[in-house]
Structure 1
Amino acid sequence: MNSNLHQPIWRFYDQSISLKNSTPLESFATDDTLCHLVGQLESPPTIRTWVHDASVVLGIQDHRLPYVQQGMALLEERGYHPIVRNSGGLAVVLDEGILNISIVLSEQTKTLGINDGYEVMVALVKALFPEAADKMEAYEIVGSYCPGSYDLSIEGKKFAGISQRRLRQGVAVQIYLCIEGSGAERAALIRDFYSESLRGEETKFTYPQIIPEVMASLSELLNATFTVKDVVIRLQQLLMTLADEVRLEPFHDEELQLYAFYLQRVFDRNAKMLALK
């Protein structure tokens, strides 16, 4: 077990239900707030769960696609709301069958390199699913959406992707876990988005060639009927074994003021970036 997962206190902030109807921009602001609080030792290390209804989060490079407006219109037609984040990475799908988990740690107490952050999340996921831990591998799955060196897969099929956010000496390691439904159908949606947004044009940036068959949900891969709720319960039970104390805590009043600051910043930066198109 990764030593960073053992903490005297874990704060657990469950937003797997409360954020469903909210824009994912709110989640970005929440993680920025937690980075600040945990990084400055104003909060214990925190694990947050979050779920958003049908959305596709696009990266800056996606927004530079030659026909991105047409691609976004296609997403809307398919019932997915597109938003653009002002950070790296490429398009990812969020929906009620995908559980997002953020682990937020402070670098004031222990230096955490980029790979160290990824390894913490890999260890957490393996601990969450001990029945499949030996089958899980972390390497880039070519043909998946938003490919990265720490894609999590079983037998070559990706079910999760990991990213990081660093702010005010806080590190937020974030993962999307495809729990329910069809991973291939989600990948086909992103394939069609790129097809519509490129329309055969050559671009300086090389966008992924999506092969839907290389993506799957954990329910599909493990031939089991997992739900997001099941995994949130598993996570809470796991935390009880990793800390002397687990605090189930949303933001306090004074923390909400800081959240309001980061939320406004996220919205302002997003609006500014969208205006550059």
Structure 2
Amino acid sequence: MSKINTLLTQKEWRFIDHSSLGLHFDPLQSFAYDDTFCSAVGSGQSPAVIRAWVHRPTIVLGIQDARLPYIDQGISFLKQSGYEVIVRNSGGLAVVLDEGILNLSLILPENQGSIEINRGYEAMWQLTQLMLAQYPVHIEAKEIVGSYCPGSYDLSIHNQKFAGISQRRLRNGVAVQIYLCVNGSGANRAELIREFYEHSIKNEPTKFIYPAIIPSTMASLSELLNEDLTIEKLMVHLLNTLKNLGSAITPSSLTHDELQIFEQYYDRIIKRNEKAW
């Protein structure tokens, strides 16, 4: 592995653990949390933040998804399948959240020089490699054609995608976000998104090119590592990795001032969702 990305060697990580609590609150709150921490970190009011989050079954759509010709029918299909549906405030296309998917956000300051977009992606890729270093596998970062929400930093093992990375920049803060399919069936999740697009497009011409999903291109880490991997076990790997990098880890929650900012961002994303379709 190449030398450690300096974005990972923070003196202190403020650790926000929503890996179990998130199952009990609105998934839209996660995006408001990350925006709040971007503001706090970017203004120097907070050290760098790492936040872990898991939500109940939810499909998170991108802005382009909300413009699908038969989006109402696609949403009806997802809700009948037992999923909530929201639109996020960052880029990308539809992804799945459920109890077997761990999301991590690295929230970093840009007040001492800009963070190139690829540097943020590389940091999250390397963090994932370090977390899984005990397993004899090679983790690649490249686009996996046929996966949902494809991108140049899809993380895969043997050409099967288990994670995708995105970024959001706000008020001198950068949130690098990853979803990690920890357990369950990656192919079943991909099939759900494939059927969503089928219901939402119905062979209608679209200006935007949506992915032609091939479910076999996706898998969970449990499937790929042939191990019963849990969210809790991966969280232990995460914390041990940060400690091994020499960082202090400070468990935390919103401050009083951050709570007021959070309420503003949460209200904003709720209103954006109400107008999305």
Please, what TM-score do these two structures have when normalized by structure 2? 0.96
Counting only pairs closer than 5 Å after superposition, residues 150-169 of structure 1 correspond to structure 2 as 150-169=153-172
Counting only pairs closer than 5 Å after superposition, residues 202-241 of structure 1 correspond to structure 2 as 202-241=205-244
- Counterpart of 1:138 in structure 2 is 141
Counting only pairs closer than 5 Å after superposition, residues 1-277 of structure 1 correspond to structure 2 as 1-132=4-135, 135-272=138-275, 274=276, 277=277
Query: Which is further off, 12-21 or 125-134?
Result: 125-134
**1:133 to 1:14, Cα distance in 2 relative to 1, 3 A:** farther
Q: Matched residues in 2 for 1:136 and 1:238: separation?
A: 17
1:208-255 CA-to-partner distances (Å, cap 9, x unmatched) read 000000000000001011001111122122222224421000112222
Q: Percent identity?
A: 54
State the one-letter code of the partner of 1:258: I
State the one-letter code of the partner of 1:141: I
- Where 1:143 maps in the other structure, the secondary structure is coil
Checking the alignment, whether the CA contact within 8 Å between 1:126 and 1:132 is kept in structure 2 is: no
Q: Matched residues in 1 for 2:163 and 2:73: separation?
A: 27
The count of aligned residue pairs is: 274
Unaligned runs of 5+ in 2: none
Q: Matched residues in 2 for 1:66 and 1:241: separation?
A: 49
Q: Matched residues in 2 for 1:74 and 1:248: separation?
A: 39
Q: Per-residue deviation at 1:266? A: 1.5
State the one-letter code of the partner of 1:114: I
RMSD: 1.3
Checking the alignment, whether the CA contact within 8 Å between 1:10 and 1:243 is kept in structure 2 is: no
State the one-letter code of the partner of 1:250: S
- Where 1:246 maps in the other structure, the secondary structure is strand
1:6-51 CA-to-partner distances (Å, cap 9, x unmatched) read 1111111000111113222100000000100111111011100000
- Where 1:44 maps in the other structure, the secondary structure is coil
Q: Matched residues in 2 for 1:63 and 1:7: separation?
A: 37
**1:46 to 1:87, Cα distance in 2 relative to 1, 3 A:** closer
**1:87 to 1:237, Cα distance in 2 relative to 1, 3 A:** closer
Q: Matched residues in 2 for 1:168 and 1:77: separation?
A: 38
Q: Per-residue deviation at 1:110? A: 4.0
Q: Per-residue deviation at 1:202? A: 1.4
Unaligned runs of 5+ in 1: none
Query: Which is further off, 245-254 or 117-126?
Result: 245-254
**1:86 to 1:34, Cα distance in 2 relative to 1, 3 A:** closer
Q: Per-residue deviation at 1:134? A: 5.3
Q: Matched residues in 2 for 1:24 and 1:243: separation?
A: 32
Checking the alignment, whether the CA contact within 8 Å between 1:86 and 1:270 is kept in structure 2 is: no
